[in-house]
A and B are shown apart, each in its own frame.
Chain A
Amino acid sequence: MTPPRKKKMNLKQRYALMTRGLDWETSYQKMDDVFPYDTFEGIKITDWSKWEDPFRLTMDAYWKYQGEKERKLYAVLDSFAQNNGQLGISDARYVNAIKLFLTGVTPLEYQAHRHFAHLGRHIRGAGPRVAAQMQSLDELRHAQTQIHTISHYNKYFDGFAEFPHMHDRVWYLSVPKSFFDDACTAGPFEFFTAISFAFEYVLTNLLFVPFMSGAAYNGDLATVTFGFSAQSDEARHMTLGIEVIKFMLEQHPDNLPIVQKWVDKWFWRGHKMLGLVAMMMDYMLPKRIMSWKEAWEIYFTEAGGALFEDLSRYGLRVPKYADIATEEAEHISHQNWAIFYQYTQAAGFHTWLPTDEEMAWLSEKYPNTFDKYYRPRFEMWREMEAKGERFYNNALPQLCQTCQIPMGYTEPGDPTKIGFRSTEYKGDRYHFCSDGCKDIFENEPEKFAQAWLPVHQIFQGNCGGADLGDVLKWYHMENGTDNLDYSGSPDQQQWDAWQAARKKVAG
């Protein structure tokens, strides 16, 4: 028989004592001077005590569970390294997805750590302040465990060694970097809306769940483990995101138009940035779990649909251009992979053309678009490769001023025509990939006019020199090692040697 469950002080009392019970109203300094940042965005809060963390997690419980997660994680990581876990992955092409993750995502975890630490000091309400403090520690843990885990791959594969340096300089990494810089330079409520709500609640499932499940399917024990360990914090971050939105909307009706504008902006920015994940799922996993389109249907159309239906009682509507983003889910992965294939000489991971089997999978998953628009291009490139004329695009692309992605995306409703938008600001013309990105600029032109655009910077002579070799040096990218096709790379040679050795042993 199970013994009856013991009763202690209940969770709600414990939470009240350990958060609000430890807070105080300042007396010899004005509260507005102590918390100077939480009013200038125009969000009106009348009663901070209405905030409650749904998990009601207190710091003591937080340390206990986080400690347990770390013990488990490090046991697996140690075992992975000791047992040469890199030999067990499905194919060495898979490692390129991890390169993209370490250079593109891990530095964002560190940025999130820093900014949540800022909010953990500067938010007036004790509830969200404590939640931000916990999240700050979570994000630091994520950055550390990811770097620690992936350091094992760095011993055997190229493209990892200079990840923080690359994050700050490389053209496609400016897409996630600028996304986060934009959030961190916004006020606290916009940051919460951007990162906790739009990213963590609405879109993060599209990044982590398929990524970690993909790692599990491709034999990457180490990434699965750090991924799920990080993701276990993510559910708490999601509740922070949804609570902050409801809290703002419940506190004052004047908050609605401000919040709606942020939701529109950050949904669109997130959608564009996640195009990198779309490409990873559809093209970079040797064994695939689901297509980007399927993931979008589950996590945005279905889960996001239920969420926005619920939030409609506050007057909040589905993000602007959500219908366009859904249409783009049929195209974005193919268009992105084509961009990287053309610019493989300047990428910090390897590229390849999909095999016949992989193209058959893409046809099946994208019956409306793949055979019609994308297969012919890949087949043409394959023929060119066979003739020894592998196609490289040697012209630097125009970038979107807002999302910083090369202008390779097509018009809504016409996948044969590249989309272009532009606007004028203080006598200069600025270019965009879409109406969504143009709207964002027009709402904050003084911010986005300052964007650090990698192509412009190369042309202005700020990136090491005028030719590819100079720029690669400035990126700390080893030409012929970190970049170019998988076929013929040192990564491939080593992997093939391992496989040959395994066959020899098997007899």
Chain B
Amino acid sequence: MAGIVSITLQNNDEARPVIESILQDNPSANANYMPGAVKIDCPERLVVKAESVSERIGRDWDPQEIHLTIVSMGGSLDEDDDELVLSWGA
């Protein structure tokens, strides 16, 4: 239980490529589906890579677009142009 970070996103068309990218880039991540939203938990660290999302949607994805679909989070966040990282101890 210790050190789980988490991100909750809406379960809609816009968030789906982000959800898929997270699950691909974080092999220990676990998605919990609830009505309207998905809570993704991961031990210690979770990364959202702009490159992975961009590949899926066929255009440049800015990590700040996460603001359109994020619902909640757990952990300390760090964001730059290429990725958004949730972790503890940062």
- Chain A residue nearest to B71 (CB atoms) is A231
Check if B58 sits within 8 Å of A2, measured CB to CB: yes
Please measure, in the bound complex, the distance between the C-alpha atom of A210 and the C-alpha atom of B59, giving whole angstroms. Answer: 33
**Mask for A209-240, Cβ within 8 A of B = 1, else 0?**
10011111100000010001001101110110
- Chain A residue nearest to B64 (CB atoms) is A61
Inside 8 A of A228's CB, which chain B residues have their CB? 10, 36-37, 71
Inside 8 A of B5's CB, which chain A residues have their CB? 306
Chain B stretch 15-61: residues in CB contact (< 8 A) with chain A: 34-37, 39, 50-51, 54-55, 58-60
- Chain B residue nearest to A231 (CB atoms) is B71
Check if B54 sits within 8 Å of A213, measured CB to CB: no
Chain B CB within 8 A of A3 CB? yes
Please measure, in the bound complex, the distance between the C-alpha atom of A235 and the C-alpha atom of B70, giving whole angstroms. Answer: 7
Interchain CB contact (< 8 A) of A306 among B3, B64, B68, B71: B3
Interchain CB contact (< 8 A) of A209 among B69, B71, B81: B71
Check if A5 sits within 8 Å of B54, measured CB to CB: yes
Q: How large is the interface on A (under 10, 10 to 19, 20 to 34, 35 or more residues)?
A: 35 or more
Inside 8 A of A310's CB, which chain B residues have their CB? 3, 76, 88-89
Chain B CB within 8 A of A47 CB? no
Interchain CB contact (< 8 A) of B78 among A8, A54, A306: A54
Please measure, in the bound complex, the distance between the C-alpha atom of A305 and the C-alpha atom of B39, giving whole angstroms. Answer: 17
Check if A232 sits within 8 Å of B67, measured CB to CB: yes
Please measure, in the bound complex, the distance between the C-alpha atom of A6 and the C-alpha atom of B60, giving whole angstroms. Answer: 8
Inside 8 A of B1's CB, which chain A residues have their CB? 302, 305-306
Please measure, in the bound complex, the distance between the C-alpha atom of A57 and the C-alpha atom of B79, giving whole angstroms. Answer: 10
Inside 8 A of A313's CB, which chain B residues have their CB? 89
Q: Is the interface of A mostly helix, strand, loop or mixed?
A: helix
Interchain CB contact (< 8 A) of A232 among B50, B69, B74, B76: B69
- Chain A residue nearest to B78 (CB atoms) is A54
Tell me the minimal C-beta distance from B11 to chain A in angstroms.
9
**Mask for A239-277, Cβ within 8 A of B = 1, else 0?**
100100010000000000000000000000000000000
**Of listed B36, B79, B81, residue having the most chain A CB within 10 A:** B36
Interchain CB contact (< 8 A) of B72 among A55, A57, A235, A242: A235
Check if B36 sits within 8 Å of A224, measured CB to CB: yes
Interchain CB contact (< 8 A) of B79 among A56, A65, A69, A215: A56
Tell me the minimal C-beta distance from A304 to chain B in angstroms.
9
Check if A10 sits within 8 Å of B79, measured CB to CB: no
Chain B CB within 8 A of A19 CB? no
Interchain CB contact (< 8 A) of A238 among B4, B59, B73, B81: B73
**Of listed B2, B50, B72, residue having the most chain A CB within 10 A:** B72
Check if A306 sits within 8 Å of B80, measured CB to CB: no
Check if B76 sits within 8 Å of A213, measured CB to CB: no
Check if B60 sits within 8 Å of A5, measured CB to CB: yes
Query: With A11-B79, A209-B37, A216-B35 as given contacts, are A309 and B72 in contact (CB-CB < 8 Å)?
Result: no
Chain B CB within 8 A of A205 CB? yes
Please measure, in the bound complex, the distance between the C-alpha atom of A216 and the C-alpha atom of B50, giving whole angstroms. Answer: 29
Chain A stretch 188-215: residues in CB contact (< 8 A) with chain B: 204-205, 208-209, 212-215
Check if B68 sits within 8 Å of A69, measured CB to CB: yes
Check if B37 sits within 8 Å of A306, measured CB to CB: no
Tell me the minimal C-beta distance from A101 to chain B in angstroms.
16
Interchain CB contact (< 8 A) of A231 among B4, B39, B72, B77: B72
Interchain CB contact (< 8 A) of B68 among A5, A68, A307: A68
- Chain A residue nearest to B10 (CB atoms) is A228
Check if B80 sits within 8 Å of A12, measured CB to CB: yes
Inside 8 A of B74's CB, which chain A residues have their CB? 303, 306-307
Inside 8 A of A232's CB, which chain B residues have their CB? 10, 67-71
Check if A209 sits within 8 Å of B35, measured CB to CB: no
Inside 8 A of B72's CB, which chain A residues have their CB? 204-205, 208-209, 231, 234-235, 238
Please measure, in the bound complex, the distance between the C-alpha atom of A303 and the C-alpha atom of B41, giving whole angstroms. Answer: 10
Q: List 17 A-B contacts (CB under 8 A).
A: A2-B55, A5-B51, A55-B64, A55-B79, A209-B37, A213-B36, A216-B36, A231-B72, A232-B67, A232-B68, A232-B71, A238-B72, A238-B73, A302-B4, A303-B6, A303-B74, A310-B89
Top 3 nearest A-B pairs by Cβ distance? A216-B36, A216-B35, A217-B35
Apart from A2-B58, A232-B67, A289-B35: 17 A-B pairs, beta carbons within 8 A? A54-B76, A57-B64, A65-B65, A69-B68, A205-B8, A208-B72, A209-B39, A214-B35, A231-B70, A231-B71, A231-B72, A235-B70, A289-B34, A306-B4, A307-B74, A310-B89, A313-B89
